[in-house]
Amino acid sequence: MSPATTAAAESTKAQIDRILQSKTLQSSQGLRRLLQFLADKSLCGEADQLKEYSIGVDAFGKPSTYDPRQDSTVRIQVGRLRQKLVEYYQTEGKDDPIVVELPKGRYKLNWQPRPQTEIVVPLTSPSKTTVAAGNRTRRAVLVLTPCLIAVSGWAVYATVHMAGTKQSAVFQSQWTPEIAALWRPFVDTERPLLISISAPLFVELPGFGFFRDPSVNRPEDISKSPAIASIQKALHIPLPQPVMSYGTLGGAHVSFVLGKLLAARKANVSLVNSNELSWWQVSENNLIVIGSTRFFSQLASMPVKTELLLEPGVGIRNLKPRGQEPANFVDANARQTGIAYILVSHTPGPLGNTDVMSFAGRSGAGIMGAVAWFAEPASARDLTAKLRRPSGEVPRYYQVVLKVRFQDGVPLETSYVLHRELHTSEPK
């Protein structure tokens, strides 16, 4: 082996070690073991011969009777590792000298030096784009669902175009003191802002399409679902594989509204699916969550006590009703038309140093109405009037229940129901 080849191999091993020791993989011993195994095989030239069976036996300690057709552990873990590598290079590894990838449909790792040239788009002159010379441009690491591609286009437009026109009277009139009071913690800071859309878990039925069991929201629970087992048996197919790359039209609409409101005032805004959101990202970034909280396991523990909870099959539970308040707020709808209750919560992040705003409910139309209510000057004025303390100050952390009437999937009327101020043990 030549000195140059040896040096390249040592650099790659050092990069693998960085990833293995990263915060992105710190909570998953299984993924670290899988990455080390694939790296060893790739570096010694044996990865082309790898099969799902051999990975299951050699990397995960499966018995010799292991049948990949009945046990999808390897496929699930390989998919998760692929996503974690994307997440790593989006956060901790964004400046690492070597980029490691796991291409779809393969078990062999690819690595290459990080390209030194990029496409540069000057914000001050969006019509003049400078493209730096080079063989390859840096790959985008943000994985977008099909319906969110249009939203990413809007984010580019809002950041580039509106940044140059934000002094217009129309734009300024939308950013009222009440709107600022609700959104200031997310824009008046250098901390990055993530907008995360819930991505429900579907399973792929080869040759038939996709299926969703609402009770299954983690890949590891697929094999425990009676409904999925019945379909698998009836169709005579292997265990269905997880698919978490689909968002909703409501999520795309909400992202558009938030992009229009916030992007021109906040440069470092990113969009990420719930299944790609890590605890580390939640603890280091401000976050806006769109969709049912059951899709966001990273929010299971927050340093604040809440009196209002969204519970599957129940609705919004009021743990400490006051006066004539009901104990539960339950949606009343027939598919696309009805009434939805949405819980909006502004809480500290898991370490108390970040801000999290969630719009949670069972109705996409309801969430659309709630986000619009927080983004419109008239309703923001009504809300802040209700939130204000006797001193006139708007509390930093709170929960609000909103009632949204909608028809044919379109929100028609949104109204305030109640709110709770939240208190932390150590106020910020």
Q: Give pLDDT, residue 161.
A: 47
Give 234's contacts (C-beta < 8 A, 6+ positions apart). none
CA distance 135 to 187: 37
Mean pLDDT of the chain: 79
Q: Give pLDDT, residue 133.
A: 34
**Does the pLDDT at position 144 exceed 60?**
no
Lowest mean pLDDT among 73-82, 125-134, 216-225, 372-381: 125-134
- 5 pLDDT band (50/70/90 cuts)? low
Label residues 246-283 b or e (16+ Cβ within 10 Å = b): bbbebbbbbbbbbbbbbbbbbeebbbbbbbbbbbbbbb
Q: 55 vs 23, 47, 52, 63, 112, CA distance in Å? A: 24, 10, 5, 11, 24
The residue ranking higher by pLDDT, 206 or 97, is 97
**Does the pLDDT at position 184 exceed 80?**
yes
Q: Give me the mean pLDDT over the 260-270 stretch.
A: 82
CA distance 352 to 396: 12
Percent of the chain with pLDDT over 90: 26
**Does the pLDDT at position 340 exceed 80?**
yes
335: left (phi over 0), alpha (psi -120 to 50) or beta: left
CA distance 228 to 240: 8
Q: Give me the mean pLDDT over the 254-268 stretch.
A: 82
Tokens standing for residue 132: 């730096």
As beta bridge partners, residue 80 has none
Q: Give pLDDT, residue 373.
A: 93
- Write a three-state SS string for the chain: CCHHHHHHHHHHHHHHHHHHCCHHHCCCHHHHHHHHHHHHHHHCCCHHHCCHHHHHHHHHCCCCCCCCCCCCHHHHHHHHHHHHHHHHHHCCCCCCCEEEECCCCCCCCEEEECCCCCEECCCCCCCCCEECCCCCCCCCCCCCCHHHHHHHHHHHHHHHCHHHCCCCHHHHHHCCHHHHHHHHHHHCCCCCEEEEECCCCEEEECCCEEECCCCCCCHHHHHHCHHHHHHHHHHCCCCCEEECCCCCHHHHHHHHHHHHHHHHHCCCEEEEEHHHCCHHHHHHCEEEEECCHHHCHHHCCCCCCCCEEEECCCEEEECCCCCCCCCEECCEEECCEEEEEEEEEEEECCCCCCEEEEEECCCHHHHHHHHHHHHCHHHHHHHHHHHCCCCCCCCCCEEEEEEEEEECCEEEEEEEEEEEECCCCCCC
Lowest mean pLDDT among 48-52, 159-163, 225-229, 297-301: 159-163
Instruction: Establish how many alpha carbons lie within 13 A of residue 347's alpha carbon, considering only the half-sphere containing its beta carbon.
Output: 25
Q: Give pLDDT, residue 260.
A: 81
CA distance 112 to 396: 46
CA distance 418 to 409: 24
Q: 192 vs 38, 247, 327, 405, CA distance in Å? A: 33, 22, 37, 34
Q: Give pLDDT, residue 420.
A: 95
Q: Give me the mean pLDDT over the 112-139 stretch.
A: 41
Burial class of 165 by CB neighbour count within 10 A (0 to 12, 13 to 18, 19+): exposed
- 335 pLDDT band (50/70/90 cuts)? low
Lowest mean pLDDT among 118-122, 148-152, 163-167, 258-262: 118-122
Q: Give pLDDT, residue 115.
A: 56
Most confident of 69-73, 147-151, 183-187, 262-266: 183-187
Most confident of 68-77, 241-250, 294-303: 68-77
- 299 pLDDT band (50/70/90 cuts)? low
Q: Give me the mean pLDDT over the 58-87 stretch.
A: 86
Tokens standing for residue 167: 């002094």
Q: Give me the mean pLDDT over the 223-250 stretch.
A: 81
**Beta-strand pair 119-120/130-131:** antiparallel
Q: Give pLDDT, residue 401.
A: 97
Q: Give pLDDT, residue 280.
A: 76
Q: Give pLDDT, residue 123.
A: 34
Q: Give pLDDT, residue 317.
A: 92
CA distance 394 to 295: 29
CA distance 138 to 125: 22
Backbone angles phi, psi at 388, to 5 degrees: -60, 140
> pTM for the full model?
0.59
| Every domain of the chain and the residues it spans | 3-113, 147-198+247-421, 202-243
Percent of the chain with pLDDT over 70: 79
- 298 pLDDT band (50/70/90 cuts)? low
Q: Give me the mean pLDDT over the 262-291 stretch.
A: 80
* Residue with tokens 């299971």, as numbered in its chain: 300
pLDDT digits (tens, 9 = 90+) for 372-415: 999 999 999 999 999 999 998 999 999 999 999 988 888 899 99
Closest CA to 355 of 116, 237, 184, 235: 184
**Does the pLDDT at position 159 exceed 80?**
no
